[in-house]
Structure 1
Amino acid sequence: MKWSGFLVGGLLGAAATVYVSRKQPGAVSWAATAMSDVFSTATRKSVSKMMGNAVKDQAVALSPKHLGDTAAKSEAAWEQIEAIVNSDPQLKKEANKIKAESSSVRH
């Protein structure tokens, strides 16, 4: 858009506003209020959409990824934990105590 077209349009809009305001003084106020409401609604919708997308994207990024080898990795991790617990008698005693307490609470 050329500047001259923008300026001519602005002048025509200003002239139309002056003309309408002389004929019907409340019309300009009503139009301004209506336009304000339209822009408020559009702004609110776009902000909520952007925020919704941002929250959704963040949740997707933070969610755990399920891969085909997850079960194998989990099993290996539990085996490693069991080996660590079995290597220390005091830790094994404490783990068995916790296991016994948790099973008695469930029943």
Structure 2
Amino acid sequence: MRLGSFIAGGIAGAAAALYVARKRPGLAAAAGVAAGQLWSGVVRKSMAGALRQGMGTIGRSAKPVAPEPAVSERRAEPAAAHAGDAQAWAQIAALVSSDPAVKKETDKLLAEAGASMPH
């Protein structure tokens, strides 16, 4: 794509957005909300992927990873299946505790999440 085409498309898109915002403000607001929700979903998925990838790297460097139990073993021993979850949360807590800036931001996010949850 040529730079001139890209700029012309950007100007045309901005003009169309301005037209819609003036003629139908409700439609423009709804489009803004939809775009925000879409962007939040993309960010959430990328953060989750980065955390999964990072936790896998940390777990491998800390100690060898045990093989995943078979499906029948998971059903037979639900406490054993949850032990891995507890270990993962313990690693997350250790990572958060190791950096004061991360801990402060995490506490802020948890407080916001707790305030927004229905009682």
Q: State the TM bucket, normalised to the shorter chain.
A: 0.5 to 0.7
Q: Does residue 46 in structure 1 map to residue 32 in structure 2?
A: no
Runs of 4+ in 1 over 2 A off after TM superposition: none
Q: Structure 1 64/41 Cα, relative in aligned 2: closer, same or farther at 3 Å? A: closer
What percent of counterpart residues are identical?
32
Structure 1 residues 2-41: aligned runs within 5 Å: 2-41=2-41
Deviation of the 1:64 alpha carbon: 4.1
Rounded to whole Å, the distance in 2 between the matches of 1:64 and 1:18 is: 57
Q: Computing the radius of gyration over CA atoms, which structure comes out larger, 1 or 2?
A: 1
Rounded to whole Å, the distance in 1 between the matches of 2:63 and 2:26 is: 55
Deviation of the 1:40 alpha carbon: 0.9
Give the partner amino acid of 2:34.
A
Give the partner amino acid of 2:49.
K
Question: Partner residue of 2:96?
Answer: none
Structure 1 residues 60-79: aligned runs within 5 Å: 60-64=60-64
Deviation of the 1:57 alpha carbon: 1.5
Q: Structure 1 59/20 Cα, relative in aligned 2: closer, same or farther at 3 Å? A: same
- Structure scoring higher RCO (CA < 8 A, sep ≥ 6) equals 1
Aligned pairs, number: 65
> What runs of 5+ residues in structure 1 fail to find an aligned partner?
66-107
Rounded to whole Å, the distance in 2 between the matches of 1:64 and 1:8 is: 55
Other structure's SS at 1:34 match: helix
Other structure's SS at 1:58 match: helix
> What runs of 5+ residues in structure 2 fail to find an aligned partner?
66-119
Rounded to whole Å, the distance in 1 between the matches of 2:50 and 2:64 is: 23
